[in-house]
Structure formats: C-alpha cells, structure tokens
Chain A
C-alpha cells in the first residue's frame, strides 16, 4: 500500500530523527545555560559535560540516520 512512496518515507524518517535530536540537545543546553547562570564559576565543567551529552545524542541520531540512508 505504501510502496510507491517508499523513497519519501526515508526522508520523513530523517525528519523525525532531526526532531528528536534537536529536542534532546536543546533541552540539554537549556539546562546547562541556566546552571551556568546560577553558578558562573562552574562554567568550564558544565561546558565539558554539555559537549559530552550532545555527542552521545548526536551519535544515536547518526545511527538512525544511517538506516534512513540505507533504506532510501
């Protein structure tokens, strides 16, 4: 039933991955910015932790993106 649209389903999947990754990284950085505004002396540690978290989220998004690229 959905087969004629198979190529665009991969693009829709890629868009959904983007929503998830952007939400995750946005929430992470929002909390990080708020915390560094409350305690500015912790800012280097918070920045390192934020970058690590963003790397993990982006890694998961890239796994799903590879499946999207394979299937479409």
Chain B
C-alpha cells in the first residue's frame, strides 16, 4: 500500500510538477498540448512576453508629459523616481547617474515584471531559469566594463582592478583577488535571483503534492501553500530591488574606486 502511494506521488510529480520546475518541451495548457519548437523553451517565450508587455506599457505612457502624471504614467514615474532617488543617485551622483539611469531602470522593471508574471497560474517564471538570470548578470558585467572604459578611459581598468595604498608585495595578490571577486559577484547575482525564485515555486508544488498522498486531510497544507504564495509576492519585489541595488553598488565600486 505504501509502495503504491509512493508510485502515485512519483507519477504526480513527474507528470504535473517537473514540467514547471524543469525543462519543458511542450506547453501543457489545460485542454490543449502544444509541442514547442525545438529551440524555444517555455521560459524563453516568457522573456519575450515580458518584453512585449513592457514595450506596450512604454508605448502607452510615451506621450504623457503633464506636470502631474495620471494613471499608468503615474505608476511608471513612481518606479523611475524610486530607482533614481534610492538606487542610482546615492551611488553615482547626479551627473554620472543620469547616463546610467536607463540601464538600472531596465534591470529593475524587467526582473520585477518577470517575477510577478511567474505568479500568474499558466505562466512560467522567466527569472526562475538559470540561463535567464545568467544572461542578466552577463549583461551587467559587460555594461560594468563598458562604463569603466567609457567614464575613466582604459586607465580606469587599472584603477578598478588594482588597489592602491598597499605594500608593494601585496598588490599583485590583491589584484588577482579583485578579478576573482568580480566574477564571483556576477555569479552570486545569478544564483541569488535564480535560487530565490525557483525555491518558492518548488515549495508550493511540494505542499500541493501532499494532497496526492493524503487527500482531504491535506487541507492545512493547501492553506500553507496560499501563505507561501503571498510570501513569494514579497520575494519578487525584494529580489528585484536587491539585484538592482547590488548592481549599482558593484558598478560604483569599479567606476569610482574608494581611496
């Protein structure tokens, strides 16, 4: 009896859960199954859905230049002002920050929208895939190096990676440590966003999987799953903020090295 129930749980997980948490070859909509193209994964499609949604919102608020914005423009301005005053200007100052503001706004709003769309029942989380977050972190790495070269010239790379104010024999060691820590920051950004987003989904699916084994007695598990869903809503906002804030801080550490 226990073995059959275990097989039932395994079958439930393989059929219903793994295609949310793992790689997907087909879109299992409720009454329809669409075999995806060979080179389009469900999370990749979600990236394009997020991009299309954001472009639609941007086109809608493009021409609202009123002094006091209303409606969708007010929401968009609230986000941009939040990023400008809390993340970019405290780190970079007004002159330098003006050019970098659009990059950080893009990061924040893309990650936030991708996280939130993953909570809608039929969609998958774009940022819950390590390839998407690795792509975001790689873009951050390239923009970081580009900003250092553009704002400080090629000597800026020397200033960013080689600390000064140390005894002569220690500087090569610290330079190697700086290069390693640059790549480790990029890796940590990737893994932090990916793990936080994926773990929330897996916890919810595991709790709902208890219904297969216990039936109606698993109602408290369903209530806990609903509570975890609201917690995941909070984590979506928090992780977008943390990714953008850490990107700003790391870029600031490279563009303006402290003395």
Chain A positions near chain B (C-beta within 8 angstroms): 44, 48, 51-52, 55, 58-59, 62-63, 65-66
- Shortest C-beta distance, A55 to chain B (Å), equals 5
- Shortest C-beta distance, A20 to chain B (Å), equals 16
Q: B residues within 8 A CB of A55?
A: 185, 188, 192, 242, 246, 249
- Shortest C-beta distance, A67 to chain B (Å), equals 12
Chain B positions near chain A (C-beta within 8 angstroms): 90, 184-185, 187-188, 191-192, 195, 242, 245-246, 249
Most buried by A among B184, B188, B192, B195: B188
Q: Which of A52, A59, A65 contacts B184 (CB 8 A)?
A: A59
Given A51-B242, A52-B246, A59-B184, 6 further pairs, Cβ under 8 A: A51-B245, A55-B242, A55-B249, A62-B191, A62-B195, A65-B191
B195–A48 touching, CB < 8 Å: no
- Shortest C-beta distance, B69 to chain A (Å), equals 26
Q: B residues within 8 A CB of A51?
A: 242, 245-246, 249
- Shortest C-beta distance, B136 to chain A (Å), equals 16
Q: A residues within 8 A CB of B242?
A: 51, 55
A62 and B192 CA atoms in complex are apart in Å by 8
A59–B188 touching, CB < 8 Å: yes
List 15 A-B residue pairs with CB atoms under 8 Å apart, sorted by A's residue number.
A48-B90, A51-B242, A51-B249, A52-B246, A52-B249, A55-B185, A55-B246, A55-B249, A59-B192, A62-B191, A62-B192, A62-B195, A65-B191, A65-B195, A66-B191
A48–B188 touching, CB < 8 Å: no
A25 and B188 CA atoms in complex are apart in Å by 16
A52 and B187 CA atoms in complex are apart in Å by 15
A51 and B241 CA atoms in complex are apart in Å by 11
Q: A residues within 8 A CB of B246?
A: 51-52, 55
Q: A residues within 8 A CB of B249?
A: 48, 51-52, 55
A51 and B185 CA atoms in complex are apart in Å by 14
A65 and B185 CA atoms in complex are apart in Å by 15
A66 and B195 CA atoms in complex are apart in Å by 11
- Shortest C-beta distance, B116 to chain A (Å), equals 22
- Shortest C-beta distance, A18 to chain B (Å), equals 12
Q: B residues within 8 A CB of A58?
A: 188, 192
- Shortest C-beta distance, A56 to chain B (Å), equals 8
B90–A63 touching, CB < 8 Å: no
A22 and B192 CA atoms in complex are apart in Å by 15
- Shortest C-beta distance, B77 to chain A (Å), equals 22
- Shortest C-beta distance, B149 to chain A (Å), equals 24
A41 and B188 CA atoms in complex are apart in Å by 31
| A44-B188 in contact given A51-B242, A51-B245, A52-B249 (Cβ < 8 Å) | no
